[in-house]
Structure 1
Amino acid sequence: MSWLVMDAFLEKTTSVVASLAYVSSYFCLCLLVVIAQHNNFLLTLVSAIRFLIYFCPNSEKHVTVTEKRLKWLKMIGYPFLIILDFFVLGTVLPQWSFFVFDALLVVSAFLYIPIVHSIRAVRYLPSIQANQPQRYIMWQLVSISVIKFVYIIYICLTDEQSERFVFYFRVIDAMAIPFLIQISYLGCNRRTMITVLQSFKCGNFWKVCCCPCIETNRIEPEVELAESTGLPLY
């Protein structure tokens, strides 16, 4: 599939410089696609781990992804995805290489539904009222599911040049997933949203552009101490 897209680019030009630009752009897009697939894999893994930890707290020490484990996931994950996508699924079943990763991400997103339901059952607790973790979960669930369903439905209903459309969607996916994750976090509570809006003020904007060494507002997760409720931590 990916080679078909590059051939389509090269057919439109005879200039050597333009051809080199197209080829370099193509490989950059392929890199973005692999990074997006790795992000999808990590999001799927995180949702499965959170589901297990929330409903089976005893499994936390066995399934928690430490920094060392994350490093190994990156070292193994990227070569595996390159081989799987461009040399196995990409040459035999090009569309399925897109569907497999997206279907896994959509299914894993629905693992958050019982977590949200369980959190709402104890929403009277002060820690839940202060942090409202279910809002972040729902934002991420809805945003990712919507964009994935749009891709899948469009590809299923469109037969003409479907392989090329799949490649374009994967490039959009590479840019959309990090954006959706950040928007989910920034929009989940009032404090982070106010901080974001303040950063767009004229004074802060010129500080960032002209004086990057000056310290500006920075959005970071807040860690608060809460009384034990007998519920597993999320």
Structure 2
Amino acid sequence: MSWLVMDAFLETTTSVVASLAYVSSYFCLCLLVVIAQHNNFLLTLVSAIRFLIYFCPNSEKHVTVTEKRLKWLKMIGYPFLIILDFFVLGTVLPQWSFFVFDALLVVSAFLYIPIVHSIRAVRYLPSIQANQPQRYIMWQLVSISVIKFVYIIYICLTDEQSERFVFYFRVIDAMAIPFLIQISYLGCNRRTMITVLQSFKCGNFWKMCCCPCIETNQIEPEVELAESTGLPLY
């Protein structure tokens, strides 16, 4: 990642306090960018794992991400992405390193399409009607694809490839990906939507803001026991 934006600002800034504040803000944004890249990596990994488990059930015990494996992914993932993004791709493809990760995420999102098609073919099963996993899959696919294609369309129409705009896209990505993950989960079924709407009622809203110790409606995943259908539950 280039330091041109920070250098340009520091050249026009005479206040030491303002310079320190800007440098701190810049490093915070860089941290958000790294976290966003790690989120993209995890989303790509999850989609590939779901694809393998769905069409190759025998691979589940080998590719399932356990809590221990997730800790290792976090410990190894962040240093690896920092080195890859800032020192490898950042020097070879300084303006396109961001789009390399985005391309992987978009491709992985399309791995959900055959899963959705397969689920729709057996939508008459009771477990599918009760859980409707295709909704969550489609919400996540559509939301991720839309925001990524907005970047691509903007770049193509404006022919803008400067590092400044790439950095802006990185910051937007850092804020958008967690939001998209939450929205795709909250909008996937009626139960979560009702809980969300209830939390915005006047009484619940003031309880949440003024009295955080008081319990309010929380949205948590439900673990349901269903008859085996030969299909994995999501």
Q: Secondary structure at the match of 2:24?
A: helix
Greater CA drift, 9-18 or 68-77? 9-18
**8 Å CA contact retained: 1:54, 1:233:** no
Q: Would you say how many aligned residue pairs link Structure 1 and Structure 2?
A: 234
Relative to structure 1, the CA distance from residue 192 to residue 201 in structure 2 (aligned partners, 3 Å threshold; closer, same or farther) is same
Moved more, 25-34 or 90-99: 90-99
Shift of 1:86: 1.4
Shift of 1:152: 2.0
CA contact (8 A) 1:155 1:162 kept: no
Deviation track 1:174-216 (CA, whole Å, cap 9, x = no partner) reads 0000000000000111110010010011111111122111111
Cα shift at 1:160: 4.4
Normalised by the length of structure 2, the TM-score is 0.96
What secondary structure, in the 3-state scheme, does the structure 2 residue paired with 1:2 have?
coil
Query: Any residues of structure 2 matched to 1:159-178 within 5 Å, and which?
Result: 159-160=159-160, 162-178=162-178
Whole-angstrom CA distance in 1 between matches of 2:91 and 2:9: 19
The answer on whether the counterparts of 2:127 and 2:229 sit within 8 Å (CA) in structure 1 is no
Q: How does 1:66-215 map to 2 (within 5 A)?
A: 66-160=66-160, 162-215=162-215
Please say if residues 5 and 164 of structure 1, whose CA atoms lie closer than 8 Å, have aligned partners that are also in contact.
yes
- Alpha-carbon distance in structure 1 between the residues aligned to 2:121 and 2:162: 44
**Residue by residue, what CA displacement relative to the aligned partner does 1:21-60 show, whole Å, maximum 9, x if unpaired?**
1100000000000000000000000000000000000000
Percent of aligned positions with the same letter in both sequences?
99
Query: Could you say what secondary structure the match of 2:95 adopts?
Result: helix
Structure 1 runs, 4 residues or longer, greater than 6 Å off: none
Structure 2 residues not aligned, in runs of 5+: none
Q: Are 2:155 and 2:161, in contact at CA under 8 Å, matched by a contact in 1?
A: no
Contact 2:106 2:144 in 1 (8 A): yes
Contact conserved, 2:199 with 2:205, CA < 8 A, in 1?
yes
Shift of 1:91: 2.6
- Does the 8 Å contact 2:95/2:161 carry over to 1? no
TM-aligned CA distance change 1:92 to 1:216, over 3 Å: same
Residue 230 (structure 1) shift: 2.6
1:155 Cα offset (Å): 2.2
* Structure 1 vs Structure 2 CA RMSD: 1.3
Length-normalised TM-score, structure 1: 0.96
Q: Does the CA contact (< 8 Å) of 2:116 and 2:137 recur in 1?
A: yes
Q: Find the aligned partners of 1:111 and 1:52 in 2 and give their Cα distance.
A: 10
Cα distance between partner residues in 2 of 1:153 and 1:40: 20
**Aligned partners of 2:43 and 2:137: how far apart in 1?**
12
Which deviates further from its counterpart, 6-15 or 154-163?
A: 154-163
Write out per-residue CA displacement over residues 78-129 of structure 1, whole angstroms, 9 at most, x where no aligned residue. 0111111112211331122111100000000000000000000010111111
CA contact (8 A) 1:155 1:165 kept: no
**C-alpha spacing 1:159/1:72, structure 2 compared with 1 (3 Å):** same
Cα deviation for residue 172 of structure 1 reads 0.4
Q: 1:160 to 1:9 in 2, by over 3 A?
A: farther
Runs of at least 5 residues in structure 1 that lack an aligned partner in the other structure = none
**Preserved CA contact (<8 Å) 1:49 1:64:** yes
